[in-house]
Amino acid sequence: MPRLALLALFSLSLGMPGLAYAKEKFQQPGPVHLDQKGEKWARESLKKMSLEQKIGQMFMIWARAQFLNLDAPEYIALRDTMRKYHIGGFGLTVNFEDGFLYKNEPLEAATLVNQLQRDSEFPLIFAADFERGLGFRLNEVTSFPHAMAFGATGNVDYARESARITAQESRAIGVQWNWFPDADVNSNPLNPIINTRSFGEDPKQVSNMVVAYIEGAHQYGMLTTAKHFPGHGDTDIDSHLAVPSIKGDKAHLERVELPPFRAAIKAGVDAVMVAHLAVPALDPDPNHVASISPAIVTGLLKQQMGFNGLVITDALTMAGLTKLFPEGGSAGAGRAAVEAVKAGNDVLLIPSDLDGSYHGLLQAVRNGEIPESRIDESVLKILRAKASVGLNKATQVDINAINRIVAKPASLDTAEEIADEAITLVRDNHQVLPLKATPKGTNIGQNAYQPAAEDRNRTLVLIFSDDSRSDAGRVLEHQVKMRIPEAKAMYIDARNPAGLTQPVMDAVEQAQAVIAAVYLTPQGGAQTNRIALPNAPAAILQSVLRGAPDKTVVVAMGNPYLAAQLPEVKTYLCTFSDAQVSELSAVKAMFGEIPMSGRLPVSIPNVANRGAGLGGPSPMSSRGPNE
């Protein structure tokens, strides 16, 4: 062949990748569905597995969404762990340190997921706690407010649409399973760990929201999880730190805790996550929490409630479980894994000691304590779940498609609309709101000799948060200053109140209006069970309210029950979330740019009942999924 012809063919091959390289097959997400080919693949795969491989399929460990060179020690360690223990899947998360989440980008997450899939002997399933969409763990994605904000809107269509968007974006980066929706009924105002993660305190509304979320997620290929069975809403202890207890009798459980789980099962939820909490009415054994209770997992969930899907433990590292195994280390981890499987769990999430858990379970099968048929039962369900989202056909995602799917303007608009509709005005003295923006074109601060406090429109923004170094309040401050450039902001946390008390009170005295934004949301794994402001910041806020109640608006950026701690508050609004989109909505509401049409999805003791709200018209009860 002439040289020019060869060059032409080579050039053509560069423009047509299929001629130069075998085209990589990518996942093609569709509705969640297990077809005959998927069933056949699951059964044949199970037959090919050794006992060691089957045991490994039942474990999920963390994979942190970050860029890793393939020769980096961190990646090699993760890959070798996956292969050594035949890991069945990963929970996708990010690094967490000193109260800070170090979020990364969707492209980094997808790149890591693809590489782990390439290096695995069997298709991996990736799951995540995308409770607020991908924004719960990643940057530059669609971020929704907390579940309770959805309850405040009273609109189940929002739950369905957020699930669709989350499913599309999740599948784009290679995550097939969301550990959501939260089916807990937050009936206890002192709950430090569920709180705004719940849709509310009404079992019917929670059920409707849960069902709608499952329907939306399934439409775009996302597996769902109802958690935290049999209900974590009536507790006042964080199960990350200790063993909480549900003290209600069976009638209470049937009336309040269980209806959302029954609704989820009827709607076809793929998995149920079992909590590490004591439920004496269901299992009086003091050495049992729900996650290791045969009576609760097998007896109630599987047999009585008829659930045939995946049963997954909450993280096995949580103190609510580990405190029951004082031997600790490998022995304690192994025993916990064995008891969890004997109780009826299929997937063991984040073991405290992977080697101990894996070998403890392997030994229990080898010595006859657990029949291998019991392991086969769980692994077949896991393989079926993988096939139902197409992992038997392809494991890679198309990196080039991410910027067409993730963070679409329409998706961002939907998140903002939900946050807007959730804003709830609980108290109003009609003296603060709406705030007035500085007229456009007004010169601000032209007089170099005039202190900021003397400016024409004096507005003070007080940001109360866990840590003033965090992002909490930054969007709110920016949005206020876009409307009132001369507004002053002060950040207050438990580390700095001693030196701030007098400056804050001086600024309050000079201000015409005070915004006190309180960022108080449940923090899984926090060091203390916290539902209220720490003493020192709380004292400052109470001083502000005693000294200037008529010109202060308190904005609960999260926990709505905060008002019970502040009897002096006269103007009070709730966003039910500290998400940045909720910060934007709060500012728009305070300046009268949107109506505050939300209604409380929970009751605030001595303040307001569920359904309260002083804003525009909004139906309290959510419509059912078929209404």
Average pLDDT, the chain: 90
Let me know whether 457 and 372 are in one domain: no
Let me know whether 296 and 432 are in one domain: no
Q: List b or e across 459-496, with b for residues whose CB sees 16 or more CB atoms inside 10 angstroms.
A: bbbbbbbbbbebebbebbbebbbebbebbbbbbbbbee
- 14 pLDDT band, cuts 50/70/90, is very low
Asked if 353 is an active-site residue, the reply is: no
Q: What stretches of 175-251 adopt beta strand conformation (E)?
A: 177-178, 225-229
Measured distance CA(473)–CA(416) in Å, rounded: 17
pLDDT tens-place string over residues 276-286: 999 999 999 99
Asked if 240 is an active-site residue, the reply is: yes
Q: Which domain holds residue 139?
A: 36-410
How many other β-carbons are positioned within 10 Å of the β-carbon of residue 586? Answer: 29
- Is residue 18 domain-resident? no
pLDDT tens-place string over residues 385-437: 999 999 999 999 999 999 999 999 999 999 999 999 999 999 999 999 999 99
Let me know whether 342 and 246 are in one domain: yes
- The secondary structure element, H or E, covering residue 272 is strand 271-274
- Is residue 386 domain-resident? yes
Q: For residue 276, is the peptide bond before it cis, meaning its omega torsion is within 30 degrees of 0?
A: no
Measured distance CA(142)–CA(152) in Å, rounded: 20
Q: Rounded to an integer, what is the distance from CA 81 to the centroid of its chain?
A: 27
From residue 71, alpha-carbon distances to 75, 111, 166, 259 in Å are 7, 15, 32, 50
Residue 337 reports pLDDT greater than 60: yes
- Is residue 250 domain-resident? yes
pLDDT confidence of residue 625: 36
- 340 pLDDT band, cuts 50/70/90, is very high
pLDDT confidence of residue 326: 86
pLDDT tens-place string over residues 229-276: 999 999 877 667 678 889 889 999 999 999 999 999 999 999 999 999
Average pLDDT over residues 545-564: 96
Residue 162 reports pLDDT greater than 50: yes
Is 280 buried (19+), middle (13-18) or exposed (0-12) by CB count in 10 A? middle
pLDDT confidence of residue 1: 45
**CATH number of the domain residue 141 falls in:** 3.20.20.300
Let me know whether 288 and 330 are in one domain: yes
- Residue among 240, 276, 288, 359 flagged as catalytic: 240
Measured distance CA(441)–CA(278) in Å, rounded: 62
pLDDT confidence of residue 83: 98
pLDDT tens-place string over residues 62-107: 999 999 999 999 999 999 999 999 999 999 998 877 666 788 999 9
**CATH number of the domain residue 454 falls in:** 3.40.50.1700
pLDDT confidence of residue 238: 66
Of 346, 377, 410, the last residue of a domain is 410
Cα separation of the two ends of the chain: 71
- Is residue 596 domain-resident? no
Let me know whether 396 and 459 are in one domain: no
- Residue among 182, 184, 270, 314 flagged as catalytic: 314
pLDDT confidence of residue 99: 63
Let me know whether 347 and 198 are in one domain: yes
- Is residue 324 domain-resident? yes
Q: How many CA atoms lie within 13 A of 187 on its CB side?
A: 20
In this prediction the pTM is 0.92
* Amino acid, res. 319: A
Q: How many CA atoms lie within 13 A of 565 on its CB side?
A: 23
Let me know whether 218 and 272 are in one domain: yes
- Is residue 23 domain-resident? no
Let me know whether 348 and 458 are in one domain: no
pLDDT confidence of residue 472: 93
- 534 pLDDT band, cuts 50/70/90, is confident
Residue 13 reports pLDDT greater than 50: no
Residue 161 reports pLDDT greater than 60: yes
Q: For the chain, how many structural domains are there in total? A: 2
Measured distance CA(76)–CA(509) in Å, rounded: 59
Residue 31 reports pLDDT greater than 50: yes
Of 380, 410, 440, the last residue of a domain is 410
- Is residue 373 domain-resident? yes
Let me know whether 160 and 97 are in one domain: yes
Let me know whether 370 and 221 are in one domain: yes
- Is residue 112 domain-resident? yes
Cross-strand pairs, 347: 312
Let me know whether 405 and 429 are in one domain: no
Contact, 261 vs 244, CB < 8 A?
no
pLDDT confidence of residue 81: 98
Average pLDDT over residues 9-27: 47
pLDDT tens-place string over residues 353-390: 999 999 999 999 999 999 999 999 999 999 999 999 99
Let me know whether 406 and 526 are in one domain: no
Cross-strand pairs, 490: 462
pLDDT confidence of residue 523: 58
